[in-house]
Amino acid sequence: MNTAKSQHGEDKTSPAERLAELCATTLESATGEVADSLASIARRLTEPLRVVVAGGVSSGKSTLVNALIGHRVAAVDAGECTRVVTEFRYGHPERAEAIEHDGTKHPVSLVGKALPSELPIASERIERVVVYLSNALLERMIIVDTPGVNTVTGSNQTAAERALGLATTDAMAAADAVVFLTPHAREADAAILDRVIELGRDSGLTSANCIAVLSKVDLLSDGIDALVSAERLVATTGERLHGRVSDVVPLVGLLAETIEAGRFTEADASTVAAIAAVEDELDREDMLLTAQDLIEWPDLAASPQARKHLVELLGMYGIKTAVDLFDAGVAGAAALSSRLLERSGFSALRNLLLQRFETRSQILKAHSAIQELRDISYSAGTEGRRLRRQLERIELDPAMTELGLIDAVSEFADKRSILPTDLARQLDTMTTSTVPTQRLDASAEDLPDVALRSIAAWAGWANDP
């Protein structure tokens, strides 16, 4: 590998590229499990970022995966597919395979593009299912759907831990980043998230590469706009999960999946119009009180089956929102879909994923690789000592400042050190943005002065006994 240089002569190679080169050099003299682990790390450094979607049972993980991919491919109903780790990668031809713990592969027949509810072999024998799709997002990141974290036991605990990067010598499926879903933001969810981060600790998982998603805010809404109603919950959840995640985002998962997967059709838009034809305010309120009330309401132009289908697609929040939009002059599947997507919160989440994770993918992958290489070095004898020295040189390079930020987040999240509020806030900002002016909350003109004051503040804190 040729090392790129700037016009001033400094090394401009990315952290991931330098670590891949280190793996290649070390591999020349490595053998056995060490060689296998090095090859695995080198391969992952050249792959897209690996984003794990985690959370409790029925938290909406597969629903979010479907929205991200833009097709209802992940299983959302109870079945074998929901009990195994499923990895979605870019590939053509589109296909799926179940991989046993010994590496044996079994083809899985996709139904359209969707996974079947049952797999060709027992889930206990499966390490993971891999689905290859010709999808633009999957060219940029690998998405891993996991079993419910709070009910992981026995064999699927091993699978979840592999997906989250815990203590396997090859660390084949370590997470570079995590999206943690919680429908209700209960106290128990903090403990579940602690478990997720613990599973990924060996691969360098910190709050800097974790996002929490309130995945069913429509069920908690007391008004027509679930995202507005969720603002207070987002704030309290952010406080509760501080040090565990870098952001909390509200989402109406079912609505996002339906619109992004293109499941809302002109026939469904006609059903919305039929419901909106009930103009009496009290009648409409009674009709939309529950799903059963809507399905059984007499004298609607839309059939009960069409109404039931609409409930399955949008949920009651989505239907009420669609009816209000229709009243405001928004009609037809395309126009309603666009506005419903806005009300789902999905666009904001997708943009955050791309800005926070995809644009920092080289740094996040490098951080994971360093943790794994350091672990390997202690089982590699003399070659391991040489490997640690090389890692230290890479970490001390000023160009690797980003890696230090991630380590700092981990240290303060673990409360090994306590930061003043203003410095803690600045650390959060620095790890969630790559733009210097945003990182220091300063204009371009004021940036040098603000940077010097920040350096002085950090130095003062570090030197305070």
Tokens matching residue 277: 């034809």
Are residues 56 and 32 part of one domain? Answer: no
Tokens matching residue 452: 């010097």
- Residue 150: what pLDDT? 52
Tokens matching residue 75: 């299983």
Are residues 171 and 99 part of one domain? Answer: yes
Are residues 105 and 82 part of one domain? Answer: yes
Are residues 80 and 194 part of one domain? Answer: yes
Distance CA 125, CA 106 (A): 11
**Amino acid at position 259, single letter:** I
Q: Which among 419, 397, 399, 398 has a CA at the least distance from the CA of 408?
A: 419
Are residues 219 and 81 part of one domain? Answer: yes
Q: In this structure, is residue 12 part of a structural domain? A: no
Domain final residue, candidates 326, 355, 384: 355
Domain final residue, candidates 297, 322, 355: 355
Distance CA 124, CA 390 (A): 40
Instruction: Per-residue pLDDT tens, the chain, 465 aa: give them.
Output: 444 444 444 455 777 888 888 898 888 887 788 888 889 889 888 888 888 888 877 888 899 999 999 999 987 766 667 778 899 999 999 999 999 988 899 999 998 888 988 888 888 888 889 999 999 999 999 998 888 765 444 455 554 444 443 322 232 345 778 898 988 767 667 777 777 766 666 566 777 788 999 988 888 776 667 888 888 888 888 888 877 888 899 999 999 999 999 999 999 999 999 999 999 999 999 999 999 999 999 989 999 999 999 999 999 999 999 999 999 999 999 999 999 999 999 999 998 888 878 777 777 788 888 888 888 888 777 778 888 888 888 888 776 777 777 777 766 665 666 778 888 878 878 877 778 888 888 888 989 898 999 889 888 887 776
Domain final residue, candidates 320, 355, 390: 355
CATH code for position 128:
3.40.50.300
Q: Match 């296998």 to its residue by tokens.
A: 36
Q: In this structure, is residue 13 part of a structural domain? A: no
Q: Match 């410095």 to its residue by tokens.
A: 423
- Residue 165: what pLDDT? 36
Q: In this structure, is residue 439 part of a structural domain? A: yes
Range of the domain at 277: 263-337
Are residues 450 and 410 part of one domain? Answer: yes
Q: In this structure, is residue 14 part of a structural domain? A: no
Q: In this structure, is residue 419 part of a structural domain? A: yes
- Residue 213: what pLDDT? 94
Tokens matching residue 444: 């371009």
Distance CA 166, CA 458 (A): 33
Q: Are residues 408 and 238 in contact, defined by beta-carbon separation less than 8 angstroms?
A: no
Distance CA 273, CA 173 (A): 47
- Residue 3: what pLDDT? 46
Distance CA 451, CA 440 (A): 7
Q: In this structure, is residue 2 part of a structural domain? A: no
Q: How many domains is the chain partitioned into structurally?
A: 3
Are residues 178 and 296 part of one domain? Answer: no
Q: In this structure, is residue 366 part of a structural domain? A: yes
Are residues 100 and 235 part of one domain? Answer: yes
Are residues 236 and 91 part of one domain? Answer: yes
- Residue 172: what pLDDT? 31
Q: In this structure, is residue 4 part of a structural domain? A: no
Q: Are residues 144 and 85 in contact, defined by beta-carbon separation less than 8 angstroms?
A: yes
Are residues 298 and 399 part of one domain? Answer: no
Long-range contacts of 6-13 (CB under 8 A, 24+ apart): 10/399, 11/397, 11/399, 12/399
Are residues 214 and 326 part of one domain? Answer: no
- Residue 317: what pLDDT? 93
Burial 304-338 (b: 16+ CB within 10 A, else e): eebbebbbebbbbbbbbbbbebbeeebeebeebbe
Are residues 52 and 39 part of one domain? Answer: no
Residue 416: count other Cβ atoms within 10 Å of its Cβ.
8
